Every structure is written in C-alpha cells, then in structure tokens.
Amino acid sequence: MHVLIRIDCVPTFLSFLDECCVHLALLVSFSATIFVSAMLLFMVQPLVGKILLPYLGGTPAVWNTCMVFFQALLLGGYYYAHRMKRVPSLRAQLIVQGSLLAVALIPLIAFKFRVDFLAQTILPTPTSANPIPWLLTVLLITTGLPFFVVSTTAPLLQRWFAGTSHPAARDPYFLYAASNLGSMLTLVGYPFFIEPSLTIGQQAYVWLTGFIVYGCLVALCGSLAARNPAIPDSTSTDGSQPEKPLGWTTMLGWIALAFIPSSLMIGCTTHLTTDIAPIPLLWILPLALYLLSFILVFSKIPGWIYQAVFLLAPLAILLGQSGAVGDFFRIEGLSDLGGALVRGSERPVTMKSLDIVLLLGVPLLAVFLARTSNRQHILWIILLPLLLILVATLPVIKRSIEIPEQQAITWHLALLLAASMVCHGELARDRPTPSHLTSFYLAMSVGGVLGGIFNTMVAPLIFNRVVEYPLVAALACLMLPGFDVSNGMKWARVLTQTSVASVGMAVGLLLLAVGFVAVDDARQWATHWLPRDRYPGLSWVQTLIDNNLQDRHLLEKRNFYGTFTIQESNHPIAFWFPLAETEVHETWTYHKMLHGTTNHGMQIYSPAYMRGETVTYFHRTGAIGQLFESIDERQRLAGRAQRIAVLGVGTGTLAAYARKDWTLTLFEIDPEVVTTSYLDPNNRFFTFLRDAEERGAKVNIKLGDGRKLIERHDAGEGKFDVLFMDAFASDSVPVHLLTREAFESYFDKLEDDGMVVVNIANRYLNFEPVLANLAETMGWSMQIQGGFGIDRIDKYGTNWVVISRKREHTGILPELGRGFRLEGEDTWTESWRAGEGNPDLGVWTDDYSNIVGIFKWAR
C-alpha cells in the first residue's frame, strides 16, 4: 500500500503553521507587555509613598497630592495615546515611543527614586507649612516621565494590535483584562510578598529592571505589528461610508459609567475602615473586586469559568471573613429574623455566615441558569438594587440581630461588586470599534479620575459624614440600564427595569434624608413628616435614624483626616458615700471623641468635680497611672519640673497628670482635634488641657506630623524627660513613627535618662515584636504592661511600652503593679515585663517594614 502526498500541499501547510506562530507571538508579546506595564504602574505608587514618608510625614495633604499627581499623569498618558492617532505610520509611532522610553530611563538611572540626593542638594526639605510645591517638583523629576510612559501602554498597544493581522484584532479589548490582571496581582503581591521581602532600594532596582524589560517588550510589539499589518478586507467597497464620529452623549455616558464604580470603590473603602472595622489592608478587597470586574467583563474566558467566578467570588469572601469553619455552618439567626424584627426583641440574635449565604448566595446560584453573558449581565442588574436595600436597612436589622463585622463587610463588598459588574459590563457591551479605541479609554480614564477627586477632595469639604458612598450607590441604581429580553431571559419583563430604578430613587432619597442632614436635624425631620401613628409602615426610617442617636452628637466634622465626632451620653451612677453612710445616686455626663469608630479618649464632663478623673486607656489604676507615679518619684529625686512631649493630642487626658511648673508640648496633625480639646473658648467638649494650665502647667501645641516636628525641635527650648506616642489608629498605621531612624531622632531630643512611652493597643496588629527587636538591636531597655480593663466603669485595657536607654532610667516602674477589685469579682494584677521580639521580622527602618508580619491572623 502506497501513501501519496501532494507536494503542492506542503507549502500551504507551512504557510499556515507560520501564520499560527505569528499570531501566537503577537498575542503573547502584546499581552505580556500590557501585563508588565500594569504591574509597574501599581508598584510605583506605594514605593514612592514609602520613600517620601520620612521627609514629609503622614499628612493627608501628602497622600492626596501623590494620588492626584499619578491620576493626572495616567490621564495624560491616555490623552497622549489618543493623539498618537495623528502620527501617520506605525513605524513613526514606534520611533516616538522608543525615544520617549530612552529619555525616561535618564531619571530612573540617575535617581532610582531616591529623594535624599535632591533633598541634600538642589531641593532641601521644606520647613514651611505648605510642602506641596516641593512634593510636586520631586515627583516630577524622579517619577513623572517613567510613570507617564508606562501609563500610555494599555490604549496605545491595543491600537497597535488592532492594526495587525491577528484574527482578534477587530476586537482588541480583551487585552485590557491582562492589564487589570497585572494590577490585581501587584495589588495583592506588594503588601504580602514585595514589601516584607525587599528594602526600598531593592524595590527601586526591581522597578528599574522591569522598566527595561518593558521597553524591550514595547519594541518587540512594535516590530511584530509593523511586519504583520492587517490584510484589507476584500469584501469592502470603495463606496463604503466612513465611520461616524463619536457624539458627546456617548462620551459622557462612558465617563458616567466609569465614574460610579471608581467613586463607589473609594467610598466603600472609607466606610468599611471608618464606620465598620478599621482593619489594616482592608482596602485591598474593594480595589481587588473593582479590578476583577474589569477582568471578567473584558476578557474572553470560557463561559463556565465566568460562571464559576461569578458564584464563587462572593462565597470566597464569606468563607474568608467568617473565621472558624464550624461557625460557617451554624444557623442561629435566620429562623428568628422575622420574629425579632416584629417583636423588637431586646435579646440580640446572632447572625452567622450561613444566613448571609442564604440571603445573598442562593440568588447567585441563578448564574447556572444563565448560560450566556447577556443573561449574567441581567442578573447583576437585578441583584444590584436588592443588595442596596440590604445595605440601606442594615442599621435597622442590627437593632435586633447581632451581625459580626465580617458579615457586614461582606454585604458592602457584594454591593460594590454588583455595581462594578453592571457599570463595567455596560462599558464592555458599548465598546466602539478599534478606530475609536483611544477615545473610549480616555473617557474611562476621565471618569475614574473624577470619581477619585470627588471622593478624596470634594466630599470631605461638603459632607460631614461618608455620604458620597450611599449617594453614588443610589445613583448606580438610577442609571440601571435596560436589557433585551428577547436575547436574555424570557421571564424578565419591562416591569423589572422600571421597578429597580424606582428602588434606586427611593433608597437614594432615604439615604439623603439620613446621611446628608445632620443627625439631630434628621430626627426632627423624620418625627415631623413620618409620625409613627400615621405612617406605621415607614416607622423603620425613624429606627434607622435613632440607631445613630444612642449618644447625642455634640459635633460632627469631616476633613482630610477622616470623620470626627464628639458624643455626649448620660449614665446613672450609684456609689457608697462612707461619711454619710448612704448610697448616692447621680447621673454622670460623658464626652467621647471618635475618629470613625476609633475611640480617642473620653472625659466625665459632669459633675464638674469628676473632670480630673482619667478613664479609658489612661486610668490611674493601669499602666499610665503607674508610669506617672514613677515620673513623680523621678521629679522628687531630681528636684526639677518635668518636660513632657506627646504625639497625638486626643482629648488631652494625659494633662490630668501634669503638676505645677511642668511643660507639656503636644504634637497633633489634625487641627480639629486641637480646636475641641484646647482652643474652644467655652470648654464645651474637653477640659483636661485648660485644667492643667489652671494648676500651673505650661501647655504648648504644635500642628503637623509628629516625627517631623520633633526632628525640628529646637534644642534651646530644652530636652524632654518623657515622650508619649498615642498616634495609632487601627486603620492608619504610622509606620514612619516606629522605624530605627525615628527612634534615634526621639532619643536625640530626650534627656539622658529620658523615656519613650508608646500605646501599641490594636485589635489587628501586634507591635510588640517590632519595638522589642528595635530595643534589642540598639541596646535599649523595653518594658511592657498588658493592662486590664473593666469596661463598665470605663477603664479599658491596653498595651503600653516604655523604652529607655537603660533599665534603671525607668525608676520604680518595674516594681509597680496595681490591683483593682469590684464587689464579687476577682482582683486583676498586672506587672511590667520585658518585651518579646521576633527575629523573623527584623528591625523596621525607613527602608524596610512588614505590616503583614505583625497581623493578628488568629483574631
């Protein structure tokens, strides 16, 4: 038997094989280049932020300026790619881009993001109150051009790819998924892998190497695109009509669709970290879901993978937030949910993770009933208003059901994911032909930038609370798109489209009434317009408002430092008066200072004779009381008044311990805190600092970043005896205050026997090994007391650390211990002990830190 092979078929097969190799090379090279560029973009921002932190401190003005700078460059890069259409040929574009890449290498090689050279030569660190001009100049010199070049990649290379012979060139938007995948991997990889493993200098070298690799990949893509141009369509005729230009309504629609998820992502992050749980690194989850939505709607992945991600992503969040797996399969609250809401039961009902699965996860199973992307998109459209209703009524539900913070976070993340999928899905469905590709990305970039500016700069100026988050969520419902039922689900009718828009409007008006108006005004408004006897069906609105009124709000403010609240509450007190041998009953008025949900101090405001009594973390029976007992003993032996420095004013509680002729120098970054604690002429809020002055102490307050102000402290004003650091909030970790260089500057401003006292209390982070490693490396002494708490008498447990050059400089402190006893209860006794280090963490410096390494994962 003979096999005959036609010789003329061999060239055809080889030509086909060669064409497949070319197409594969195009796909791999363009995808890899866009992927690498996205990784570089997401890595440079935290890297530059860490470099600038020791120079300017952690003021929000610095972070906001950096954000606006990078967003402006990103928008400029997209505009550059849009204008590159006017360059006549691909080869000319490649020459222009290559020249720009070569020029961008100059500042990278010269500075490697290093600011110290500029700070020591032509651009010394500013000492004025406005560092913004210096900051912009440094960013422009060291980072501006490289970041600008990399930001041009996504739209420019997609346009190049659209001009190739690849079969997918007619719809190159799937490459945008590679960009967002690179962004998301860097987003997760930086805090968990890059930051703990590499110093800032090593990260800079990695970025420089990546930029060189990126430049080579761009050259490869340009070369492949130039050698494999698109083959003209033989079916087209010369008389075909040219494509119509884009209208302004189309561009504005794209901008609005990009604005909503961008604003909602930032608003959701702010709400979660200030009003629910100030967990470090929590911001990663909203941003990751935001990027995931881009990947899902623009990628060309198989439908079954899309369906699996559609279902498993919310469930993965639930499992990750639920804690113990055993708790996940317990159901205690769902059966009592209806009865508790009707009865108004005083006993809180626990709501476990399975309840959330039943309420949110079960509807997501409908994904498997939707086998097309169009049907999946319709399901997101239906799900969005339902999630908004759940989030809007969450304060009412929490009145009767105990919802852990993990589950509350899940609801908000689900809302963000649904809104992002709807808006980004509409963008993907409405994407234009490749001839308008750069205009499309330019409009998306404008919408994203506007969303960021609205949330970070405009909203803090016009809203007292985080109102932009529910407002934009309601706006997302008002802009819900229609859908084609003929190609979607036969059971979906026009009624669905109109009803979800109505829900968005109703919820938006409700949230406006509750959030936009001051809380007390909202209560009066609701009582007048929604009396319970006349409108019983709407009485839950008052419940929603009253939920915020368990404590009366004396002051509500918001600035670039976050939301700021002063609360007043009255508590009946009964105590035994020995002289009269009788029980005394009084009502004490408490004033509490809150940043978001973080308690920054409290005072017994009435009766007046109790104002000097310290509570919360500063009570006299705890570590602070013992510490000041030791300071009093030091003063007695030294025969001189003490000079105390405090980082973080708070309510000024530490001033309650100040003696006559002592000097208190307090450093505070938020001017609103200083106003309420010291500058208020009528002492309406807190009186600790004014009372200290009346006792003969000297109080001096300086505004700005604590570390920078201490470094600039004039030695002629005298050195400090003790430096207190109470500038820690759970959601904002001032890493630059805990580095070796920072502590060296602190001890430079202290007397030889001076002490640094740090409040390291944090629900999510364990700072003890960080400070213990530092003390051991520097040869210093470190003592720590865990403290005890009796919350029902307002004495909170906390962790105070004392670091001194030698152990004997702490005086009698190590021998002190306090017991406290309540009738019928045991006695708590705490003693000071040496700190326990962790060699794996190393020593934090201005060049290295590791937040993930100190996270309390088992909490």
Q: In terms of domains, do 640 and 696 share one? A: yes
602-610 — which CB contacts under 8 Å span 24+ positions?
602/651, 602/794, 603/651, 603/653, 603/686, 603/687, 603/688, 605/568, 605/686, 605/687
Given 516, 538, 570, the domain boundary residue is: 516
Output the domain CATH number for residue 810: 3.40.50.150
DSSP string, 224-263: HHHHSBPPPPTT--TTPPPPPPPPHHHHHHHHHHHHHHHH
**Structural domain that includes position 396:** 249-516
Strand partners, 584: 575
Q: What distance in Å separates the CA atoms of residue 570 and residue 552, rounded to the nearest whole number?
A: 9
pLDDT at position 238, please?
A: 42
Q: Judge whether 708 lies within some domain.
A: yes
Q: In terms of domains, do 222 and 253 share one? A: no
The answer to whether 443 touches 306, Cβ cutoff 8 Å, is: no
Q: In terms of domains, do 649 and 752 share one? A: yes
- Supply the pTM of this predicted model: 0.80
Q: Judge whether 590 lies within some domain.
A: no
Beta pairing class for 582-595 and 817-821: unpaired
Mean predicted lDDT score pLDDT of the chain: 77
pLDDT tens for each residue of 266-313: 888 888 877 776 676 778 889 889 988 888 888 776 666 666 655 665
Residue 305, token pair as written in the block:
């993978």
Identify the three-state secondary structure at position 390. Answer: helix
Q: In terms of domains, do 59 and 201 share one? A: yes
Output the domain CATH number for residue 52: 1.20.1250
Q: Judge whether 458 lies within some domain.
A: yes
Count the domains in the chain.
4
pLDDT of 82 over the 80 cut: yes
Looking at residue 29, the DSSP 8-state letter turns out to be H
Q: In terms of domains, do 500 and 527 share one? A: no
Q: How confident is the model at residue 211 (pLDDT cuts 50, 70, 90)?
A: very high
Q: Judge whether 564 lies within some domain.
A: no
Q: Among the listed ranges 86-90, 437-441, 647-651, which one has the minimum average pLDDT value? A: 86-90
Residue 811, token pair as written in the block:
């005086």
Q: Judge whether 697 lies within some domain.
A: yes
pLDDT of 493 over the 50 cut: no
Residue 177 CA: distances (Å) to CA of 169, 182, 329: 15, 9, 35
Q: Judge whether 585 lies within some domain.
A: no
Q: Which of 355, 47, 66 is nearest to 205 (CA)?
A: 47
Looking at residue 169, the DSSP 8-state letter turns out to be G
* Amino acid letter for position 532: R
pLDDT tens for each residue of 343-399: 444 444 444 544 555 445 554 555 555 566 677 777 788 778 888 888 877 776 766
The answer to whether 633 touches 665, Cβ cutoff 8 Å, is: no
The answer to whether 477 touches 507, Cβ cutoff 8 Å, is: yes
Q: Judge whether 566 lies within some domain.
A: no
Q: How confident is the model at residue 824 (pLDDT cuts 50, 70, 90)?
A: very low
Question: Between these two residues, 141 and 763, which has the higher pLDDT value?
Answer: 141
Given 229, 259, 287, the domain boundary residue is: 229
The answer to whether 288 touches 417, Cβ cutoff 8 Å, is: no
Q: In terms of domains, do 313 and 213 share one? A: no
Q: How confident is the model at residue 515 (pLDDT cuts 50, 70, 90)?
A: very low
Q: In terms of domains, do 405 and 479 share one? A: yes
Q: Judge whether 280 lies within some domain.
A: yes
Q: Which of 260, 236, 487, 471 is nearest to 374 (CA)?
A: 487
pLDDT at position 258, please?
A: 93
pLDDT of 746 over the 90 cut: yes
Q: In terms of domains, do 357 and 209 share one? A: no
pLDDT tens for each residue of 517-573: 444 444 444 444 444 444 344 444 444 444 444 557 888 887 777 778 898 888 877
What proportions of the chain, in percent to the nearest 5, are helix, strand and coil?
A: 60, 15, 25
Beta pairing class for 833-834 and 781-785: antiparallel
Q: In terms of domains, do 221 and 258 share one? A: no
Beta pairing class for 833-834 and 562-577: unpaired
pLDDT of 585 over the 60 cut: yes
Q: Which of 825, 836, 765 is nearest to 795 (CA)?
A: 825
Phi and psi at 312, nearest 5°, equal -80, -25
Given 178, 201, 229, the domain boundary residue is: 229
Q: What distance in Å separates the CA atoms of residue 160 and residue 169, rounded to the nearest whole number?
A: 9
pLDDT of 115 over the 90 cut: no
Largest CA distance in the chain: 123
Q: In terms of domains, do 181 and 260 share one? A: no
Q: In terms of domains, do 42 and 150 share one? A: yes
Q: In terms of domains, do 258 and 354 share one? A: yes
